[in-house]
Amino acid sequence: MIRFDRFTLSNGLRVLVHEDASTPMAVVNVLYDVGARDEEPTHTGFAHLFEHLMFGGSVNIPVYDDPMQRAGGENNAYTTNDLTNYYCQLPADNLETALWLESDRMLSLAFSEKSLDVQRKVVCEEFKEHYINKPYGDVWKLLRDLAYREHPYRWMTIGRELSHIEKATLPDVRHFFGKHYNPVNAILVVAGNVRTEAVRGHVEKWFGDIPPGARYLRDLPSEPEQREARRLEVGAKVPLDAFYRTWHMSGRLDVRYHAADLVTDMLGGSGSSRLYQSLVKEKKLFSSIDCYHFGSLDPGLVAIEGKLVKGVAMDTAEAAVEEELEKLRRSPVPVKELQKVKNKTESLMAFEDMSVMSRASSIAFYELLGDAGMMNGELSRYQAVTVDQVLEECRTLFRDENSCTLVYRSEG
Amino acid sequence: MSFRSIAPPIKDPVDLHLELRPCHRFTLDNGVDVYAIDAGAEEVLQVEVVYRAGNAYEGSNGIAPAVNFLLKNGTPSRNAFEINEHFDYHGAYLNRNCHSESADVVLHCLTKHLPDLLPVMCDLLTEADFPAQELDIYRQNMKQRLDVNLRKCDFVANRLIDEYLWGFEHPYGRYSTYESYDALDRSALLDFYGRHYARGHATLFVAGLLPNDIEAQLNRHFGALPLNRDPLPAPTHPAVRAAERRHRVDNQPDGVQGAIRLARPFPNRHHPDHPGAMVLNALFGGFFGSRLMENIREDKGYTYGIYSYLQNQVAESAWMVSTEAGRDVCEAAITEVYHEMRRLREEEIPDEELQMVRNYLMGTLLGDLDGPFQIIGRWKNLVINGLDEAFFRRTVDTIRNIPGAELNALAARYLREEDFYELVVV
């Protein structure tokens, strides 16, 4: 059970405090309700580029990192398709330094041309390092494009192409800041060796006078139901043939979500999972195979990806994957197997909760979902999933017309 | 001027009272040492068995990592699936890692499940029998993985720079090849397993919310094993360094980035220069605010990230600079790395910068000691390297007090362009 206190400033900033006297550290986590899904199709990659610019100096503080490091702190941030999260950890005595830094960049950035120029290059190198200069690096660019026709999940967080990042301008940056980086669109979590009442005073001081900004009203096109199977075959200079198939799943708040999450754990992710045992160990068709999903807030994707053993025909591999899915569609999974993936979820949560940083980001995430208190009921929502619900979910998910397939062939 | 222009007062982390929490130590009936940290709020724990079973002990290339990986894939009473299912059913993770000198097997689980898991863990550590079919699958899949990795410039660069530094016959310089996988032989695996695991040298590290009877549980499963009996072999491996220091490798004709590695040999943790070098390394390229990052990423935008570090081996180490940079700016990036070395040798280090690094290192050290797994990790590092609390205290003392001039002197000794092996793999 993770306890927290919650209050809202007059400018609309939601603040949650999680006290833990067992650590000498404090964590400050600021979540902004903006991700790659909120970008224009012609300006993809912008939310992530913007995250880099948040370290390029704010209106009253020339460099973010220096005071943070001088206070003994470490910080970082990440952008997903759904949200942008900034977090730092430092000795609890220096909590105010973090609040000072975070509040100043929520107030306003320095908007420096130099910072924009450098970070455009840095992000382009990040793009190259992870998505261009790696074998199979463009897989998710292709798959997102195949699976989504309308919803902005059709591009990756890093962006659709390098040119979108290269042509970002300072006016774009100012506009994006004004639209999304406001108290009403943010959630602040303070955790660790802190006291709620003291935090309240500090937060009022540093964040209280920031203008609230306008609430961003998200109005994204929803993805129309897919009605026939989609398929794309590509060839590239990779050493092994690879198989990818996705299926549309529910959004994060849907009642179906937990069953789908457990299904992916039965199929992949461990040495006793179905796909690994059957297709890697017994049939020896794949040298690696996995099943996962992204935990997206809007309706997401379940994916299976595998590399074929050399000499195995794609048809054979594909049919073998379908055979495993057919078993799941045909009859209920053994109770013991369902219990296994529930147990795994239980221990994963316990391990995650060991770190105060992880607890702070969970609190922010569930608050974004609607109520931080939901995190304490999460395990019981998994425990409540029945074998019948799993069967139902498999029948809903793993339909041919709901699938997108990418065949990635080796051209040497 | 806004009140926001003035930084809130800080408590300098350099003044923090930092101590490594003492370990509870005990010895099993067979003389095996156990280090324990009983702490935490969650009902979880870890049990780590560290063996002297790294590459340094193998007779032919790739035996040590293969044994470490495959010891989970079958015993006379359980096949690989049953083993995996047992740990998975209990929500537990049994990981194994093979390093240059040591190799370990680590269990993470909910405290309540320990009695169900220790017997199976013990079975793997005493009775693994390396079924031929499991070895075949391993060989095939590792070769395929190698196929993919050899297309990555960073992977290729990491192998080659170690080879230049140590030579291919040295355990730090050796790496897997198609031939080494083909040559893996079941009887050699069994032999290595017998000598280095079943009858090998082990030390146990446990941490988390420990059950009251942890000593009895460990003794029941590990206390009668024939461990730590024969004297520990002390293999010596002379380094055979490459004659040529400068290397440029064209791995992918259409690559858009180059993997840059610059490295020089460096003594191990027992050397008096080690703690000071750790501070100098932070300043040079050890964290986000370092000079390499400030210059090459934050000023020039040549890379997504650049780091320097001391390699984590027991007998000897190396000082490494590592980055992936745009293909056209690799040479410019290398020039800047040497420029930063020269500045550290020749220019006085500003007090403000040094104070920032001291505070950063102390603050993050405080964070790194937060939690039972982190604390036991520190202890493991000390024990494996034949060190004790004094090393930790010396490190803290050095962070606090080392004068800037001494860092300049260390840079003059170690950060010299002519001593570095230099590699770019595109």
Regarding whether A383 and A296 lie in a shared domain, the answer is: yes
User: Is A225 part of any domain?
Assistant: no
To the nearest whole percent, how much of chain A has pLDDT over 70?
Answer: 100
| Euclidean distance between CA atoms A116 and A95, whole angstroms | 29
Specify whether the CB–CB gap between A183 and A255 falls below 8 A: no
**Which pLDDT does position B22 carry in this prediction?**
94
Q: Which of A73-87, A108-122, A161-175, B224-238 has the lowest mean pLDDT?
A: B224-238
Which among A287, A243, A271 is positioned nearest to B137, based on CA atoms? A287
pTM: 0.95
| Triad A401, A404, A408: Cα angle to 5° | 145
Structure tokens at A334: 């053994």
The verdict on residue A75 lying in a domain is: yes
| Residues on chain A touching B325 (C-beta within 8 angstroms) | 125
Residues in chain B within 8 Å Cβ distance of A199: none
- At B424, is the secondary structure helix, strand, or coil? strand
The nearest CA of chain B is from the CA of A259 a distance in Å of: 18
Average pLDDT over residues A185-196: 98
> Considering the domain boundaries, does residue A277 fall inside one?
yes
Query: Given an 8 Å threshold on Cβ–Cβ distance, is A339 in contact with B89?
Result: yes
Residue A220 lies in a domain: no
SS (H, E, C) A353-388: CCCHHHHHHHHHHHHHHCCHHHHHHHHHHHHCCCHH
Q: Is A219 within a domain?
A: no
Residues A167 and A243 in one domain: no
Q: Considering CB atoms only, which of B41, B80, B256 is closest to A128?
A: B256
- What is the distance, to the nearest Å, from the Cα of residue A203 to the centroid of all Cα atoms in its chain? 27
Smallest CA–CA distance, residue A364 to chain B, in Å, is 21
A75: nearest CA partner in chain B = B288
Which chain B residues are closer than 8 Å to A119 by Cβ?
301
Quick check: B389 and B258 in contact, CB under 8 A? no
* Dist CA A182 CA B52 (whole Å): 55
- With a cut of 80, say whether residue A55 has pLDDT above it: yes
Count of positions (residues) in chain B? 426
Q: What is the pLDDT along chain B (426 residues), one digit of tens a residue?
A: 789 999 999 999 999 889 999 999 999 999 999 999 999 888 999 999 999 999 999 999 999 999 999 999 999 999 999 999 999 999 999 999 999 999 999 999 999 999 999 999 999 999 999 999 999 999 999 999 999 999 999 999 999 999 999 999 999 999 999 999 999 999 999 999 999 999 999 999 999 999 999 999 999 999 999 999 988 877 789 999 999 999 999 999 899 999 999 999 999 999 999 999 999 999 999 999 999 999 999 999 999 999 999 998 999 999 999 999 999 999 999 999 999 999 999 999 999 999 999 999 999 999 989 899 999 999 999 999 999 999 999 999 999 999 999 999 999 999 999 999 999 999
Instruction: Give yes or no: residues A179 and A323 share one domain.
Output: no
User: A166 and chain B: CB distance < 8 Å anywhere?
Assistant: no
**Alpha-carbon distance B331 to nearest alpha carbon in chain A (angstroms):** 16
In A123-162, the residues whose Cβ lies within 8 Å of chain B are: 123-126, 128-129, 132-136
Q: What is the CA angle B177-B93-B103, rounded to 5?
A: 45
Residue A127 inside a domain? The answer is yes
A190 phi, psi to nearest 5 deg: -120, 125
What pairing do the DSSP bridges indicate for beta strands B421-425 and B246-249? parallel
Looking at the structure, tell me whether residues A196 and A239 fall in a common domain. Answer: no
Last residue of a domain, one of A172, A207, A242: A207
Whether A385 is in a domain gets the answer yes
- For residues A234 and A366, membership in a common domain is answered with yes
Give the count of domains, chain A.
Answer: 2
Check CB contact under 8 Å for A69 and B287: yes
Which among A173, A207, A241 is the end of a domain? A207
Residues of A in contact with B88 (CB under 8 A): 270-273, 340, 344
Residue span of the structural domain in which A340 resides: 230-410
Q: Find the DSSP H helices in B128-199.
A: 132-149, 153-166, 178-182, 186-193
Contact (CB, 8 A) for A43 and A164: yes
Co-location of A13 and A141 in the same domain: yes
Residue B100 contacts residue B313 (beta carbons within 8 Å) = yes
Q: Do the chains contact at A347 and B110, CB–CB below 8 Å?
A: yes
Enter the tokens of residue A91.
């000795």
Residues of A in contact with B370 (CB under 8 A): 23-25, 356
Domain co-membership, A265 together with A199: no
Q: Is A310 found in the same domain as A188?
A: no
Closest C-alpha to B310, from B285, B339, B335, B343: B285
Quick one: pLDDT at residue B17?
A: 86
The nearest CA of chain B is from the CA of A297 a distance in Å of: 26
Domain identity same for A136 and A269: no
- Between CA B286 and CA B301 the distance in angstroms is 18
Q: Which two structure tokens, joined as six digits, stand for B157?
A: 């660069």
Q: Which of B9, B359, B371 is facing A355, going by the closest CB pair?
A: B371
Token code pair at residue A173: 């940056």
Which residue is closest to A108 within chain B, CA to CA? B4
Q: Which domains does chain B have, with CATH numbers?
A: 24-222 (3.30.830.10), 246-425 (3.30.830.10)
What distance in Å separates the CA atoms of residue A57 and residue B65, rounded to the nearest whole number? 47
In a domain, A214, yes or no: no
Q: Is the ipTM of this complex over 0.90?
A: yes
| Residues A259, A119 share a domain | no
A186-192 vs A25-32, strand pairing mode:
antiparallel
CB contact under 8 A, A348 and B91: yes
Q: A68: which residues sit within 8 A by CB, 6+ positions away?
A: A74, A75, A88, A90, A97, A98, A101
User: Looking at residue A166, which CATH number applies to its domain?
Assistant: 3.30.830.10
Closest CA to B426 of B236, B273, B257: B257
Does residue A112 sit in helix, strand or coil? Answer: coil
Residues of A in contact with B303 (CB under 8 A): 122, 125
Do A264 and A317 belong together in one domain? Answer: yes
Mean pLDDT score of chain A, rounded to an integer? 96
Residues A240 and A92 in one domain: no
Q: Which string of b and e fits B298-317 if b means at least 16 CB within 10 Å?
A: bebbbbbbbbbbbbebbbbb
